[in-house]
Structure 1
């Protein structure tokens, strides 16, 4: 049976598991990473891993959610700072920064490899439902900072942003030299429609 750990030790082990999970995603992908690999990298007994996570999928999900929460907080903070000066161009720049952060993260390799889809299938339904509810709340928080968004279909706006985000998977086909310009153009189109007056 694994020995009890102090709060400091627990925080350190959790941090190290996250760090190694990120490295494993980049090196092998989630599918090819085993719990044995993770505990060897962190130098803990295998039983200790299960004190922290019921499965490797929950560890990988937590890593993704940490990134998600960090980006979300930054987007909402930046939007809050622009509250009085929010324009379609300012919103476009804000959303573009979010996409670039995602592009440089572990999220895109997980999507491309199919690991994210596999991960979502293996998570308990209540975990997936909680994540989706959190995403919906985030879009509502962002929209609350935009008076122009009042009464608009936020689900459609959210779906349009997801569609633009998924372009990150096709950077090579679109053409890497022009990709950022294409991404900005599409984000600007979504932003302009959000600011348009209802007819």
Structure 2
């Protein structure tokens, strides 16, 4: 058995584990990700990994939370600094969703797609977190004189619907464009 890690070593190793794992998830997806490959790249034992995470699901979920927070900060900065209107926001958001789901396995996989985790209100904590994010966006727009008729819940649902639609574009097939136009019209008509 190896020596215990100092707090500084633990903090550095955790960052390294998440950086390497994130890269592996993006290339391999969740299903093909192997903890043994990760530990080899990080330079720790398999037992060392389990001092940080219960399993690969726990690691993946922590990376998702970190990524969600990073993306949300970026969105708030863009809305604030680029004076993005609600219409521009939803159009850009759809393009980002489509690009990410097409180019990065981290954003869609068999376990829990990032986009769905970012926006789906499947539990009270996630729902509250999503509403808080929407309220932050609404405050920025209100400070710029843009007042929306849609409620926070309606805006959160619009973002969730857009994300789910974009995430499952391949499954929808040729009908995607029609569905996207319907969702776009619904969103824009209620802003």
Q: Give TM-score scaled by structure 2 length.
A: 0.70
1:194 shift after superposition:
3.9
Residues in 1 aligned to 2:77 and 2:22: alpha-carbon distance in whole angstroms? 25
1:74 shift after superposition:
0.7
Residues in 2 aligned to 1:36 and 1:68: alpha-carbon distance in whole angstroms? 26
Name the SS for the 1:116 alignment partner.
coil
| Partner in structure 1 of residue 89 of structure 2 | 91
Question: Is it true that 1:189 corresponds to 2:188 in the alignment?
Answer: no
Distance change (3 Å), C-alpha of 1:5 and 1:131: farther
- Structure 2, unaligned stretches of length 5 or more? 117-122
1:27 shift after superposition:
4.8
1:47-66 correspondence to structure 2 within 5 Å: 47-66=47-66
| Conservation of the 8 A alpha-carbon contact between 2:26 and 2:104 | no
Give the stretch that moved more between structures: 87-96 or 139-148: 87-96
| Partner in structure 1 of residue 4 of structure 2 | 4
Question: Is it true that 1:142 corresponds to 2:140 in the alignment?
Answer: no
Distance change (3 Å), C-alpha of 1:19 and 1:164: same
Residues in 2 aligned to 1:90 and 1:146: alpha-carbon distance in whole angstroms? 12
| Conservation of the 8 A alpha-carbon contact between 2:97 and 2:163 | yes
Distance change (3 Å), C-alpha of 1:139 and 1:2: farther
Q: Give TM-score scaled by structure 1 length.
A: 0.68
- Structure 1, unaligned stretches of length 5 or more? 121-127
How many pairs are equivalent?
Answer: 176
Residues in 2 aligned to 1:3 and 1:98: alpha-carbon distance in whole angstroms? 44
1:59 shift after superposition:
0.5
1:90 shift after superposition:
2.9
Question: Is it true that 1:108 corresponds to 2:127 in the alignment?
Answer: no
| Partner in structure 1 of residue 16 of structure 2 | 16
| Partner in structure 2 of residue 74 of structure 1 | 74
1:143 shift after superposition:
2.0
